[in-house]
Amino acid sequence: MTIARDRLRVAVQKSGRLAETSLSLLRRAGLSFRASRDRLFLYGENLPIDVLLVRDDDIPGLLMEGSCELGIVGRNVLAEQRLTALPGTDAPAERLALGFGGCRLSLAVTDGGPITVPAQLDGLRIATSYPGLLADWLAVNGIRAEIVVLSGSVEIAPRLGKADAICDLVSSGATLAANQLHELVAILHSEAVLAASPHPLGSAKAEQVERLCARIEGAQSSDGARLLMLQAPRTALAAITRLLPVRESPSVLSLDGLPDDIAVQALCSGALDWQHLEDLKRLGARGLMVLNVERMLA
Ligand code: PRT
Ligand code: ZN
């Protein structure tokens, strides 16, 4: 099925943990928007790309029915949808990992309780909002447990006597600790991902998707990227390169009238603090300059 709609549509969480960062990522990819009156739609002003603001749980369904071509959603939601979808239906695919909204889906048990390893869950009850992912993990690990499906407040199930363990999202671990629970094992590592509709796209839209993905990757890689420029004796190059948190091979240029010297341009990630610069200077570098990288395109 080819989708008959000219503009690309990206589904994004309306409010919640992923909402703000998802929109700021799209803005950093160069998109600008105008909100509709009902605030459910953001019209792309400079590219034929609109944003639909929805609940995160609705995003896989919107991709499957073809109402949106792309969506930003937790891998946990996407993977659960894939495992619980009707057989024969095409599931949306993860296109890019986006590096925010990090968390893990973990099995957790009561502090000081008898369960210390997952195998001891055999024959017990586990409360979760992720029955698909939990059932899959239990099957792979040969554990037969009863899955108690809850839509929220999973962490209080053991105290209410509804379950012997839980399987829930954890980020800092504070919620588990506040409920006298601790992690046994993480069954899925999650983060926000760009997911794509399984439906084939026409060439114009496919091109827009590629363009947006390249821009998002560029926006991600320019985060924390610095360009270091310096001059140094040619003999110091190897020692200088060893000191740098380089992302790729530095460019080495010759200097007019100075055959024994070079200019180096290196794309670096992470901190390039005063100590780094002083260490480079000690190796003979001079004219050191660190520049923030505004935009990158691979
Ligand atoms: O309204 P809508 O349905 O859109 O939002 P929602 O309430 O279902 O989702 P939301 O905004 O809570 O989470 C959206 C996505 O953020 C999730 O699908 C995950 O991919 C990701 N994410 C990252 C998290 C967490 N971290 C997280 N800590 N989602 C939920 N939690 C909850 C967890 O369920 C538990 O209750 O936070 C609690 C644990 O946090 P810690 O820090 O105490 O460990
Ligand atoms: Zn939700």
More confident residue, 87 or 108: 108
Q: Could you tell me the distance, in angstroms and rounded to a whole number, from the CA of residue 150 to the centre of ligand 2?
A: 13
In the prediction, which pLDDT does 3 show?
46
Q: Could you tell me the distance, in angstroms and rounded to a whole number, from the CA of residue 182 to the centre of ligand 1?
A: 17
Q: Please tell me the CATH superfamily of domain 103-189, with its number.
A: Periplasmic binding protein-like II (3.40.190.10)
- Give me 225's structure tokens: 């990227």
The preferred substitution site among 57, 81, 171, 176 for testing ligand 1, maximizing ligand atoms within 8 Å of CB, is 171
**Could you tell me the pLDDT band of residue 4, with boundaries at 50, 70 and 90?**
low
Who surrounds ion ligand 2 at CB < 5 A?
56-57
User: Mean per-residue pLDDT for 52-77?
Assistant: 97
Tell whether the model's pLDDT for residue 279 goes beyond 90. yes
Atom of ligand 1 nearest to the CA of 171: 44
In the prediction, which pLDDT does 89 show?
86
What gap in Å lies between CA 63 and CA 71, rounded to an integer? 7
- Give me 166's structure tokens: 């839980």
Instruction: For the chain, report the end-to-end CA distance as a whole number of angstroms.
Output: 32
68: closest CA among 209, 192, 214? 209
What gap in Å lies between CA 32 and CA 195, rounded to an integer? 21
**Could you tell me the pLDDT band of residue 82, with boundaries at 50, 70 and 90?**
very high
- Closest-CA residue, ligand 1 atom 28, reads 171
- Closest-CA residue, ligand 1 atom 13, reads 17
What gap in Å lies between CA 291 and CA 294, rounded to an integer? 9
Q: Could you tell me the distance, in angstroms and rounded to a whole number, from the CA of residue 17 to the centre of ligand 1?
A: 6
Phi, psi of 227 (to 5 degrees): -105, 120
276: closest CA among 244, 236, 241? 244
Atom of ligand 1 nearest to the CA of 75: 20
State pTM to two decimals: 0.88
Lowest mean pLDDT among 1-10, 61-70, 83-92, 143-152: 1-10
- Closest-CA residue, ligand 1 atom 42, reads 172
Structural domain 8-101+192-222, CATH architecture: 3-Layer(aba) Sandwich (3.40)
Tell whether the model's pLDDT for residue 1 goes beyond 60. no
60: closest CA among 82, 40, 86? 82
- Closest-CA residue, ligand 1 atom 2, reads 55
Angle at 17 between CA 14 and CA 23, to 5 degrees: 55
Lowest mean pLDDT among 45-54, 104-113, 152-161, 246-255: 246-255
Condensed to tens digits (0 to 9), the pLDDT of residues 224-236 reads 899 999 999 999 9
Do 103-189 and 8-101+192-222 fall under one CATH topology? Answer: yes
Lowest mean pLDDT among 9-13, 152-156, 221-225: 221-225
CB atoms within 10 A of CB 251: 12
What gap in Å lies between CA 224 and CA 191, rounded to an integer? 19
The secondary structure of the chain, three-state, reads: CCCCCCCEEEEEECCCCCHHHHHHHHHHCCCCEEECCCCCEEEECCCCEEEEEECHHHHHHHHHHCCCCEEEEEHHHHHHHHHHCCCCCCCCEEEEECCCCCEEEEEEEECCCCCCCHHHHCCCEEEECCHHHHHHHHHHCCCCCEEEECCCCHHHCCCCCCCCEEEEEECCCHHHHHCCEEEEEEEEEECEEEEECCCCCCHHHHHHHHHHHHHHHHHHHHCCEEEEEEEEEHHHHHHHHHHCCECCCCEEEEECCEEEEEEEEEEEECCCCHHHHHHHHHCCCEEEEEEECCCCCC
Domain spans in the chain, listed from the N-terminal domain onward = 8-101+192-222, 103-189, 226-292
Condensed to tens digits (0 to 9), the pLDDT of residues 202-258 reads 999 999 999 999 999 999 888 889 999 999 999 999 999 998 888 788 999 999 999
What gap in Å lies between CA 186 and CA 168, rounded to an integer? 9
CATH, domain range 226-292 = 3.30.70.120
What gap in Å lies between CA 42 and CA 23, rounded to an integer? 10
Atom of ligand 1 nearest to the CA of 190: 20
